[in-house]
Amino acid sequence: MRRRSFRMFNAAVILACLALAVGAGRAAAATSAPSAPSVTVAGTTTSLVLGEPTLDYGQESVEQFSVTVATTGTVAPTGTVTISSGTSAVCAITLAPVSAATAGGSCKPAATSFAPGSFQLTAAYSGDTANAASASVPVTLAVSKGATTTSLTLSSPSVGYAAQQSEQLNVAVTSPDGDSPAGSVQVSAGSTPVCTITLSAGAGSCALAADEFGPGSYQLTASYAGSPDYAASGSEDEALTVSEAATTTTLTLSAATVSYGDEETVQARIAVTAADSVAPAGTVTVFSGAVALCKIALSVVNDSVCALPSAVEFAPGSYRLTAEYNGTGGDATSTSAAQTLTVKPATTTTSLALSAPKEAYGTEESERLSVVVSAAYGGTPDGAVTVSAGSKTVCTVTLAAAAASATGSCVLSSTALAAGTSKLTAGYAGSHDFAGSTSVPALRAASPAATTTGLSLSAGTVAYGDEQSERVKVTVTSEYVGVTSGTVTVKSGTRPVCVAAISAGNGTCALAASALGAGTADLSATYAGGGDFARSASASRMLAVAKADPAIAVTMSAARVVYGKEQGERLSVAVRPEHAGTPTGRVIVKSGNATVCVITLVAGKGSCALSARSLRIGAHDLIVVYSGSADFTSSASARMTLRVVR
């Protein structure tokens, strides 16, 4: 065990040096300055208190030394206090003020600073310019040997008589300080020594002699003798059983997995070996739980095989098989490690047949689907088969027993399959004894169902620009079953005028303002079809669009104009539609039967200026006449009076 020496200064030497230094300083001061007043150093009292007066070796770090230095003067002591054991310094404390007349502090010794024994500790204050040095009354610190814990572990709690030398006895001695005690440990069986171990880094081991113990049970203990720094200790008892010559039985299966109904193809291979290398004799029985499957006599070559009997049938699942050797002569009984035999459900084959591979959408109930499920090793699968189109289930079949297989059929429901080609598969879900399987896909074609499209109008006549008041209603019905959806486009000739969204077979749409020119339009509705329903078109319906009556608004730049300067007069005209659209064409401004000016409309508006001397002096009634267009009727404005003055 390592020992740590003190590396602290000698407190007495420090005090003597301090005293000489202080005296020399005072003498020098007296020589150099005889006129200065003398400084009186106050007396001090140093006290030392231990946190624990008794501790174990290696646990010194839990100890705390506390010191207090009190002065008779008015200045609190400063400087350091050294804790010493004899002439060896243990630790030093830098004082901190506690009150006006006291200072204090604490320190901890290093681990393993003290060997086991008793120590007189003193605290020596070095003094300062205002306070004299002082030392505490010695305080006793008792250090006991460090506690130890001894443990004993066996490499195996049982060993064969002929293999005792393979048994390792492992010991470890630990201390709370984390150090590694030195010395030796004796392992005994009761009062009989077995072996002595010299510790290395607190641990060691020994092996039993080949004939150390006869067959039986023994309680082993490990006793640590202790050392100068650490106390002795003993381990808990460890039980060791010395048995007859151990045997090892090994079981190997020819296959770890077998299908239900095919279990007799599995062979169990058994081997038994003994620690004394003599081939054991006797019998071995193979078990599944408590059920004996087969029993064989060990062969001369110590390797025997038995097949699982066909009379024993395993349901699908996992079974733990073991081989038990009965022991004979000097060989002990033994049981092999369990080997898992997994009996999986028997594989199956599922087939699917269609009564008609092609039908129209909505007539699926005429289709009968037949399924057959066969097992690989016989037996009759039970349960259900699900017929699916992709991820959609279209029907379910409950199987019934048939010769060497299970069969069943189901009928599709109307609209069970979308129009187009569907891949149908039959999936057998399996049962406890039979694995699931899926058929090869069977193709079934469903043509789109024929549809009929109808068109009706809310009114047979509408004014140009007011077409949005016309509501067009469309209907799309299926030839068989199912609810149509999608869109219907309403056209005038080849030009689309509105689109109706179909919901539950019905839809409406409104024409856009000025979508149709004045006159008659033949409207028809075309259903786009798609998905499960075929395209169709309605009969045409005639819609009459009447010309709209426009309104004319006229403004004059002035109501009076000077003769000869009529060109300063500007007439502005706006022809406004009754509903929507933009009137086009010409507007004529007249005074009586005379044409004053002609305006070509742009975006329904226009203006003109009068010609000089085009009107005589006097009052003139002006009127604006719109000649109409393809979509608007002709109309005239109210009369307006323009005065021409000299």
pLDDT mean over 234-253:
89
Q: Give me the number of domains the chain comprises.
A: 6
Are 617 and 597 in contact by the 8 Å Cβ rule? The answer is: no
Residue where one domain finishes, among candidates 407, 432, 447: 447
Residue where one domain finishes, among candidates 243, 262, 292: 243
pLDDT at 204: 94
The pLDDT confidence band at residue 45, using thresholds 50, 70 and 90, is very high
The residue segments making up the domain with residue 585 are 551-645
- CA dist 23 and 259 (Å) reads 107
Handedness of CA 463, 466, 471, 472 (dihedral sign): positive
pLDDT at 446 over 70: yes
pLDDT mean over 22-39:
43
510 occurs within a structural domain: yes
37 occurs within a structural domain: yes
pLDDT, one tens digit per residue, over 394-443 is 889 999 887 778 898 888 877 777 777 888 899 999 888 899 999 999 88
Tell which residue, 500, 505, 462, has the closest CA to residue 481: 505
- CA dist 527 and 488 (Å) reads 4
Two tokens, residue 225? 């003798």
The pLDDT confidence band at residue 66, using thresholds 50, 70 and 90, is very high
The pLDDT confidence band at residue 2, using thresholds 50, 70 and 90, is very low
- CA dist 587 and 571 (Å) reads 11
pLDDT, one tens digit per residue, over 290-317 is 999 888 888 754 567 888 876 556 888 8
**DSSP code at position 54:** E
pLDDT mean over 337-359:
88
User: Which residue's structure tokens are 């009354």?
Assistant: 137
16/119 same-domain check? yes
Q: Lowest-confidence range among 208-217, 253-262, 455-464?
A: 208-217
- CA dist 484 and 315 (Å) reads 53
**DSSP code at position 606:** E
The pLDDT confidence band at residue 500, using thresholds 50, 70 and 90, is very high
Residue with the bigger pLDDT between 512 and 508: it is 508
Tell which residue, 101, 98, 95, 93, has the closest CA to residue 76: 101
pLDDT at 5: 33
What CATH code is carried by the domain that includes residue 190? 2.60.40.10
Amino acid making up residue 62: V
Are 220 and 238 in contact by the 8 Å Cβ rule? The answer is: yes
231/299 same-domain check? no
Residue where one domain finishes, among candidates 392, 417, 447: 447
508/577 same-domain check? no
Maximum CA pair distance of the chain? 159
Mean pLDDT is highest, among 68-72, 258-262, 493-497, for 68-72
42/122 same-domain check? yes
416 occurs within a structural domain: yes
2 occurs within a structural domain: no
Residue 317 gets the label, from left (phi > 0), alpha (psi -120 to 50) or beta, of left
pLDDT mean over 107-135:
91
SS3 491: strand
pLDDT at 629: 86
19/106 same-domain check? yes
pLDDT, one tens digit per residue, over 263-277 is 888 888 998 888 766
3 occurs within a structural domain: no
pLDDT at 634: 87
Two tokens, residue 613? 């001397």
167/109 same-domain check? no
521 occurs within a structural domain: yes
pLDDT, one tens digit per residue, over 125-147 is 999 999 999 999 999 999 888 88
Are 287 and 321 in contact by the 8 Å Cβ rule? The answer is: yes
4 occurs within a structural domain: no
pLDDT, one tens digit per residue, over 560-600 is 888 888 888 898 999 998 888 889 899 999 888 888 889 99
25/105 same-domain check? yes
Residue 628 gets the label, from left (phi > 0), alpha (psi -120 to 50) or beta, of left
576/518 same-domain check? no
| Residue % of the chain over a pLDDT of 70 | 91
215/121 same-domain check? no
110/140 same-domain check? yes
495/390 same-domain check? no
User: What is the distance of C-alpha 338 from the center of its chain?
Assistant: 37
Tell which residue, 366, 349, 382, 521, has the closest CA to residue 444: 366
Q: Lowest-confidence range among 51-65, 70-84, 216-230?
A: 51-65
Amino acid making up residue 289: G
User: What is the distance of C-alpha 12 from the center of its chain?
Assistant: 71
Alpha-carbon distance values, 188 to 78, 164, 206, 209, 231 (Å):
61, 16, 12, 13, 19
327/255 same-domain check? yes
The pLDDT confidence band at residue 518, using thresholds 50, 70 and 90, is confident
pLDDT, one tens digit per residue, over 318-340 is 999 999 998 876 678 899 999 99
Question: What radius of gyration do the chain's Cα atoms show?
Answer: 59
pLDDT at 14: 34
pLDDT at 13 over 70: no
pLDDT at 30: 36
pLDDT at 12: 34
50 occurs within a structural domain: yes
